[in-house]
């Protein structure tokens, strides 16, 4: 919903007023997300008052909140340096840059963008070319590949639209690993994590998966059972799903005995085509729900091969894999202590309600929902975004 704004006037004390043109205020509105956390930080920095925060929050739309906020800034120009400081610390760098383009070095007044002495360019809708950056001219090169190569590409497009076969006795085998308790460290118990196992078991069993659970394994127990599944023939299964939930950091999860288990080398690699021939050509789905760092999201927050031979057809060592993470590398994964983790609960609910869509669409839907979630209470405004890697997962898979 667009709200027409002709201009917002910023009043400099003892100076003339200067205007934000339509393009600038539009960009400012689009560049500023005034969520609960950001408003609290602005109050804490004394850039706005509690009453002004409540007034801004009275609007339901983000653009209305932004309009209210920047109208307020225009009346309290002396607060602009504090606003800039908060924006810098919360990742609102685009909005900060636009505001700085109107301020002098002291930050005490605004200068017209048309001022010849103003060295910083304002945001523009046009890219400026120079002797280094040029707009590419129209070309007509055409394909230089052989007919055989063109046919190979055509077949690849057809393959990418095909489905993985799921006509075995079981849609797949699933292993659910959940480390909830940790030896000699009761404070680290993952309260609510058992709900994640319950949800995964239910939705996968409903989809004709043979589901195994492994709760609170030590390092050696986890390793032993990974090897056990790795050596299965999977004759009666069309796919394999492995979910692992625990505390963690980087690429490692914590086992019950407080040891670090590398999920890539110790889990994913064990099921590639070289190490697990029983799953050759079958979809392999890995779901990892653990913290991958200490960062919190506050929101806004080749090697050349000239030729190759493909006959007879051979699969590479890595293919048909989806590796799904509950959060980005370096960031925390969030969990409700009574309902379970955000990621697993969202994944299970979408699978329950919309399980007939292909898995790539399903995972994208999970990401869409995750973008809307936000913490409340003592540490408000924290967000989480998930990600997944496609490793030669070239067909569609349906649960």
Domains and CATH numbers, the chain: 8-100 (1.10.533), 164-296+313-391 (3.40.50.1460)
Region of poorest pLDDT, from 8-17, 186-195, 250-259? 8-17
Measured in degrees and rounded to the nearest 5, phi and psi for residue 87 equal -60, -40
With beta carbons less than 8 A apart as the criterion, state whether 257 and 183 touch: yes
The predicted pLDDT at position 104 comes to: 44
Element (H, E) at 214: strand 209-215
Burial of 102 (0-12, 13-18, 19+ CB in 10 A): buried
Report the C-alpha gap between 235 and 326 in whole angstroms.
30
> pLDDT above 90 covers what percent of the chain?
27
Measured in degrees and rounded to the nearest 5, phi and psi for residue 295 equal -70, 145
Token digits of residue 22: 């339509």
- In the block, which residue shows the tokens 């983790």? 341
Query: Do the strands 321-325 and 284-289 form a parallel or antiparallel pair, or are they unpaired?
Result: parallel
174 or 290, which is more confident?
Answer: 174
Region of poorest pLDDT, from 6-15, 84-93, 144-153? 6-15
DSSP 371: H
The 10 Å Cβ neighbour count of residue 232 is 14
What is the torsional sign of CA 369, 372, 377, 378? positive
Measured in degrees and rounded to the nearest 5, phi and psi for residue 244 equal -130, 125
DSSP string, 49-113: -HHHHHHHHT-SSHHHHHHHHHHHHHH-GGGHHHHHHHHHHHT-HHHHHHHHTTB-TTSSSB--T
Task: Give the confidence band of 46 by pLDDT, cuts at 50, 70, 90.
Answer: confident
Token digits of residue 395: 């067909």
Instruction: Select the highest-mean-pLDDT range: 282-291, 295-304, 333-342.
Output: 282-291
> 81-126 pLDDT, tens per residue?
888 888 777 766 667 676 766 544 444 434 444 444 444 445 556 7
35 or 319, which is more confident?
Answer: 319
Region of poorest pLDDT, from 34-43, 49-58, 103-112? 103-112
The predicted pLDDT at position 240 comes to: 96
Report the C-alpha gap between 243 and 221 in whole angstroms.
16
Report the C-alpha gap between 5 and 307 in whole angstroms.
58
Instruction: Select the highest-mean-pLDDT range: 24-28, 78-82, 205-209, 298-302.
Output: 205-209
Residue 322 makes CB contacts below 8 A (sequence gap 6+) with: 283, 284, 285, 286, 359, 360, 363, 388, 389, 390, 391, 393
Q: Taking 50 as the threshold, does the pLDDT of residue 17 lie above it?
A: no
The predicted pLDDT at position 213 comes to: 94
Report the C-alpha gap between 119 and 106 in whole angstroms.
15
Report the C-alpha gap between 190 and 326 in whole angstroms.
16
Query: Do the strands 335-336 and 321-325 form a parallel or antiparallel pair, or are they unpaired?
Result: unpaired
Measured in degrees and rounded to the nearest 5, phi and psi for residue 211 equal -110, 130
Task: Give the confidence band of 378 by pLDDT, cuts at 50, 70, 90.
Answer: low
Using CA atoms, how far residue 367 sits from 326, 362, 387, 390, in Å, is: 9, 9, 7, 15
Mean pLDDT for the chain overall: 76
- Distance between start and end Cα atoms, the chain: 37
With beta carbons less than 8 A apart as the criterion, state whether 284 and 239 touch: yes
The 10 Å Cβ neighbour count of residue 216 is 17
> In DSSP terms, which residues pair with 214 in a beta bridge?
177
Report the C-alpha gap between 45 and 87 in whole angstroms.
11
Task: Give the confidence band of 28 by pLDDT, cuts at 50, 70, 90.
Answer: low
With beta carbons less than 8 A apart as the criterion, state whether 275 and 318 touch: no
With vertex at residue 64, the alpha carbon angle to CA 61 and CA 70, rounded to the nearest 5 degrees, is: 140
DSSP 137: P
Burial of 169 (0-12, 13-18, 19+ CB in 10 A): exposed
Measured in degrees and rounded to the nearest 5, phi and psi for residue 354 equal -130, 40
Report the C-alpha gap between 245 and 344 in whole angstroms.
9
> 266-297 pLDDT, tens per residue?
999 999 999 999 999 999 999 998 765 444 43
Task: Give the confidence band of 335 by pLDDT, cuts at 50, 70, 90.
Answer: low
Report the C-alpha gap between 20 and 22 in whole angstroms.
7
């Amino acid at each position: 919903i667009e709200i027409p704004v002709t201009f917002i006037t910023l009043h400099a004390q003892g100076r003339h007023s200067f205007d934000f043109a339509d393009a600038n205020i539009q960009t400012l509105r689009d560049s500023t997300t005034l969520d609960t956390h950001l408003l609290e930080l602005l109050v804490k920095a004394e850039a706005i008052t509690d009453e002004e925060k409540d007034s801004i929050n009275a609007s339901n739309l983000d653009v209305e909140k932004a309009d209210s906020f920047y109208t307020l800034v225009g009346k309290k120009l002396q607060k602009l340096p504090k606003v800039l400081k908060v924006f810098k610390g919360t990742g609102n760098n685009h909005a900060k840059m636009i505001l700085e383009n109107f301020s002098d070095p002291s930050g005490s007044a605004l200068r017209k963008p048309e001022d010849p002495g103003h060295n910083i360019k304002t945001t523009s809708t046009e890219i400026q070319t120079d002797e280094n950056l040029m707009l590419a001219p129209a070309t007509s090169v055409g394909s230089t590949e052989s007919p055989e190569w063109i046919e190979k590409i055509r077949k690849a497009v057809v393959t990418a639209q095909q489905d993985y076969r799921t006509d075995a006795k079981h849609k797949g085998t699933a292993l659910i690993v959940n480390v909830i308790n940790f030896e000699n460290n009761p404070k680290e118990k993952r309260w609510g994590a058992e709900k994640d196992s319950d949800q995964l078991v239910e939705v996968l069993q409903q989809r004709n998966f043979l589901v195994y659970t492994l709760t609170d394994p030590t390092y050696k127990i986890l390793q032993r059972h990974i090897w056990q599944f790795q050596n299965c023939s999977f004759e009666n299964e069309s796919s394999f799903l492995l979910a692992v939930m625990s505390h963690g950091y980087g690429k490692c999860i914590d086992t019950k005995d407080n040891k670090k288990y590398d999920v890539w080398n110790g889990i994913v690699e064990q099921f590639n085509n070289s190490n697990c021939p029983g799953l050759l050509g079958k979809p392999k789905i890995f779901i990892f729900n653990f913290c991958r760092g200490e960062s919190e999201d506050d929101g806004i927050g080749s090697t050349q091969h000239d030729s190759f031979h493909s006959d007879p057809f051979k699969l590479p060592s890595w293919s048909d894999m989806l590796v799904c993470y509950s959060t980005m590398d370096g960031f925390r994964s969030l969990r409700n202590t009574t309902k379970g983790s955000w990621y697993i609960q969202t994944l299970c609910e979408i699978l329950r309600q919309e399980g007939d869509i292909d898995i790539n669409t399903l995972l994208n839907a999970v990401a869409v929902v995750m973008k809307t979630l936000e913490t409340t209470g003592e540490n408000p405004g924290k967000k989480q975004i998930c990600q997944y890697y496609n490793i030669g997962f070239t067909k569609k898979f349906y649960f």
